[in-house]
């Protein structure tokens, strides 16, 4: 069943990942793309590409693309069609090779409650669950509502009490239907202090089945993974052997072929482990396993699909060092990790430290709500866990990044957090440890960075001057006057005052000296008060992105004469991201209390609840269900209790 041409039925970083390995094996690659991805890097990586008129979920169009280009095999990556048993069956029925497990196995494991029954029959411990929400009391609280046909955090809700159950089930059903085309859910026991540990398995068509150790994926937000590592800091040899054997028992019961992942929940207090699900595809976090084992999982998938035997046994697999992966996402940690959009005006990984970048974007890429917010995966491998964490944090900090709000600073803070270094990485890590959600610079660091920005801009202005560009700004034939520039960072302005000297240095503020040793359109080698550094700079209109030692700092150039614009009225509730309004739960004249969900929005296949910021009365509603809105769009107006329509106190405070 040798094949020479492979169609990759996916996009972004995973499409590039599959293409890279396939090319290394001498296999030609075909990509499929939609209009929004026409300029994406994966399209040009492939030997040829086919435009899909409908979308990535159109299985018939994907198969037609394979036939028209002579591709003999289809690799689905992850997400989209990768766990769709109907599509897998259609691929094989069309006489093509499916790179993945048989359709029957995908179907059996795609139904999470059914998968739990199979696991229990194979002797694998499972968490107590029920399929009818009316039986919630049998599980007890807190509990999780989970989508029966999906994963990746979609269709999952934590429920603390019976009063929250109905809303959680309804929301999970909507999200599951949108993400997987199946709105069934089930309820499962919730373990608060737990770890998410998974076992990578590989099986061929000749009866061989091995596991490649574990990955821990406990650092999560919205039940979606952010940081993964191998090996787990909590798994010893005995637990690794027990979990590995459990995964192999289940794999043998399924007759598993290709790459797959058996996921477990580990109770951190009792060290018991429980089956969660089987992912019948490549995982986002597969690179950490590749780094510690030296085994290319995509290559193994392609070899197995071609009918080749694994060629090695369990005892042949060895592990070396420690690997950690971080998912760089377009999202705002300070706003509850809501998705973010925009244009990546800056994206330049540093040459050192040496880490593995898996990205589907480049400088200039446009990030929309059409797809998952994952921008890149960054993987560090080192002899020890601490070294891997520090190396990964430094690589993230040294990434020159601008134009889109991301979780980069949050990831770096997490990796440097002492509890992470100590291995205290249970699933409640973010809530328990509260790593910094954004980069916060001290006053001296901010002043140094702002000065570097101001002097880079001074040089930029001079180089663009229509006449006498070689003269310093503010030049006179008498004493050179001081100049001032105001840069806005966050909610406050940073004022920089500098005076050009005749030796082409600058006096800063109250007498500190600055020297510009070299300047280019993209960086500046500058010494300020005796501290010298070369920093990357990107300008986008009135925004400057300056690379500090701890990350990229954004400054807005404040104009000398502010143009007054419209202000948002007090009490206005705006959309925190672009998306679709799913539900409006209030009407004009209705009194609401702080924290009550008023509007439900969907973006990037996830639901987001927008709550009342204070008690008050709804005075206007601007949107309705199924309406598309932009980031910052007005949703509704609330007149807070005790505040009149003009913003003044009415002396009251009681509900109307």
The residue among 283 and 461 whose pLDDT is bigger is: 283
**Residue 469: pLDDT band by 50, 70, 90 thresholds?**
low
Based on the fold, state whether residues 258 and 405 are members of the same structural domain.
Answer: yes
pTM for the model stands at: 0.86
Number of separate domains in the chain = 5
Is there a domain that residue 114 lies in?
A: no
> Domain of 56: which CATH number?
3.40.50.20
Q: Is 141 exposed, middle or buried (0-12, 13-18, 19+ CB in 10 A)?
A: middle
d(CA 438, CA 445): 15
What is the predicted pLDDT for the residue at 278? 96
What is the predicted pLDDT for the residue at 565? 47
Highest mean pLDDT among 420-429, 503-512, 571-580, 592-601: 420-429
Based on the fold, state whether residues 297 and 388 are members of the same structural domain.
Answer: yes
> Domain of 463: which CATH number?
3.30.700.40
Based on the fold, state whether residues 579 and 619 are members of the same structural domain.
Answer: yes
Based on the fold, state whether residues 347 and 214 are members of the same structural domain.
Answer: yes
Q: What are phi and psi of 185, to 5 degrees?
A: -135, 165
Is there a domain that residue 222 lies in?
A: yes
Of 557, 583, 608, the residue that ends a domain is 557
Q: What is the pLDDT of residues 66-118, one digit of tens each?
A: 999 999 999 999 999 999 999 999 999 999 999 999 999 999 999 888 899 99
> Domain of 425: which CATH number?
3.30.470.20
**Looking at the predicted structure, is the pLDDT value of residue 653 above 80?**
no
Based on the fold, state whether residues 329 and 262 are members of the same structural domain.
Answer: yes
Based on the fold, state whether residues 184 and 233 are members of the same structural domain.
Answer: no
> Edge-to-edge, what's the strand order for the sheet holding 597-603?
606-611, 597-603, 579-584, 628-629
**Residue 655: pLDDT band by 50, 70, 90 thresholds?**
very low
Q: Which two tokens stand for residue 284?
A: 């986002």
Based on the fold, state whether residues 413 and 266 are members of the same structural domain.
Answer: yes
d(CA 606, CA 150): 13
Is there a domain that residue 107 lies in?
A: no
Is there a domain that residue 119 lies in?
A: no
Based on the fold, state whether residues 214 and 292 are members of the same structural domain.
Answer: yes
Based on the fold, state whether residues 29 and 164 are members of the same structural domain.
Answer: no
Q: Which residues are CB-neighbours of 251 under 8 A, at least 6 positions away?
A: 201, 203, 209, 260, 262
Of 409, 433, 457, the residue that ends a domain is 433
What average pLDDT does the segment 538-557 reach? 96
Q: What percent of the chain lies above the pLDDT cut of 90?
A: 76
Based on the fold, state whether residues 217 and 162 are members of the same structural domain.
Answer: no
Of 404, 433, 462, the residue that ends a domain is 433
Q: What is the pLDDT of residues 346-384, one digit of tens each?
A: 999 999 999 999 999 999 999 988 888 999 999 999 999
Q: What is the pLDDT of residues 166-176, one digit of tens each?
A: 999 999 999 88
> Domain of 601: which CATH number?
2.40.50.100
What is the predicted pLDDT for the residue at 568? 47
Based on the fold, state whether residues 347 and 207 are members of the same structural domain.
Answer: yes
Based on the fold, state whether residues 471 and 427 are members of the same structural domain.
Answer: no
> Domain of 143: which CATH number?
3.30.1490.20
Is there a domain that residue 272 lies in?
A: yes
The residue among 385 and 654 whose pLDDT is bigger is: 385
Q: HSE-up of 405 (CA within 13 Å, CB side)?
A: 18
Is there a domain that residue 29 lies in?
A: yes
Is there a domain that residue 167 lies in?
A: yes
Q: Which domain holds residue 513?
A: 443-557
Is there a domain that residue 511 lies in?
A: yes
């Amino acid at each position: 069943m040798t094949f020479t041409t492979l169609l990759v039925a996916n996009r972004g970083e995973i499409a590039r990942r599959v293409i890279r390995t396939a090319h290394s094996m001498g296999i030609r690659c075909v990509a499929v793309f939609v209009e929004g991805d026409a300029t994406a890097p994966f399209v040009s990586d492939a030997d040829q590409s086919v435009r899909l008129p409908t979308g990535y979920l159109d299985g018939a169009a994907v198969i037609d693309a394979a036939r028209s280009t002579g591709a003999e095999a289809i690799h689905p990556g992850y997400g989209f069609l990768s766990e769709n048993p109907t599509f897998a069956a259609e691929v094989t029925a069309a006489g093509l090779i499916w790179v993945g497990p048989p359709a029957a196995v995908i179907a059996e494991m795609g139904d999470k409650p059914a998968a739990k029954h199979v696991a229990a029959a194979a002797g694998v411990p499972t968490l107590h669950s029920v399929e009818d929400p009316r039986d919630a009391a049998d599980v007890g609280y807190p509990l999780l509502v989970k989508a029966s046909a999906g994963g990746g955090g979609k269709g999952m809700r934590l429920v603390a009490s019976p009063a929250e159950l109905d809303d959680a089930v309804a929301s999970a059903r909507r999200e599951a239907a949108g993400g997987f085309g199946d709105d069934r859910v089930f309820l499962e026991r919730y373990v608060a202090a737990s770890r998410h540990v998974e076992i990578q398995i590989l099986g061929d068509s000749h009866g061989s089945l091995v596991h490649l150790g574990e990955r821990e994926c406990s650092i999560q937000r919205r039940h979606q993974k952010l940081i993964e590592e191998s090996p787990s800091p909590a798994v010893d040899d005995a637990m690794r052997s027990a979990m590995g054997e459990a995964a192999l028992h289940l794999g043998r019961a399924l007759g598993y072929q290709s790459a797959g992942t058996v996921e477990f929940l580990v109770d951190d207090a009792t060290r018991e482990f429980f089956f969660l699900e089987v992912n019948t595809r490549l995982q986002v976090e597969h690179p950490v396993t590749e780094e510690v084992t030296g085994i290319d999982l995509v290559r193994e998938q392609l070899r197995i699909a071609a009918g080749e035997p694994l060629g090695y046994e369990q005892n042949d697999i060895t592990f070396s060092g420690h690997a950690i992966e971080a998912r760089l996402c377009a999202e705002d940690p300070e706003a509850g990790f809501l998705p973010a959009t925009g244009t990546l005006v800056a994206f330049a990984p540093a040459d050192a430290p040496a880490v593995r970048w898996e990205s589907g974007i480049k400088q200039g890429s446009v990030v929309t709500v059409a797809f998952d917010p994952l921008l890149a995966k960054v993987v560090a491998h080192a002899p020890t866990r601490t070294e891997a964490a520090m190396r990964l944090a430094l690589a993230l900090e040294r990434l020159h990044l601008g134009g889109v709000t991301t979780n980069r600073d949050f990831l770096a803070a997490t990796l440097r957090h002492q509890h992470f270094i100590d291995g205290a990485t249970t699933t409640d890590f973010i809530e328990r440890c509260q790593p910094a959600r954004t980069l916060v610079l001290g006053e001296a660091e901010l002043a140094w960075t702002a000065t570097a920005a101001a002097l880079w801009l001074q040089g930029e202005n001079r180089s663009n001057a229509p006449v006498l560009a070689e003269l310093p700004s503010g030049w006179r034939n008498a004493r050179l006057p001081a100049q001032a520039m105001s840069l806005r960072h966050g909610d406050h302005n940073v004022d920089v005052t500098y005076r050009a000297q005749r030796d082409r240095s600058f006096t800063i503020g109250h007498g500190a000296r600055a020297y510009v040793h070299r300047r280019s359109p993209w960086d500046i080698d500058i010494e300020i008060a005796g501290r010298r550094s070369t920093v990357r700079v990107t300008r986008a209109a009135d925004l400057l992105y300056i690379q500090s030692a701890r990350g990229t700092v954004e400054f807005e150039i404040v104009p000398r004469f502010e143009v007054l614009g419209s202000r948002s009225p007090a009490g206005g509730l705006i959309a925190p991201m672009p998306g679709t309004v799913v539900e409006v739960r209030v009407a004009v004249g209705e009194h609401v209390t702080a924290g009550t969900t008023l509007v439900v929005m969907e973006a990037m296949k996830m639901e987001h609840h927008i709550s009342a910021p204070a008690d008050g009365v709804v005075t206007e509603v601007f949107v309705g269900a199924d309406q598309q809105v932009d980031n910052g769009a007005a949703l509704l107006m609330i007149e807070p209790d005790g505040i009149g329509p003009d913003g003044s106190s009415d002396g009251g405070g009681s509900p109307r």
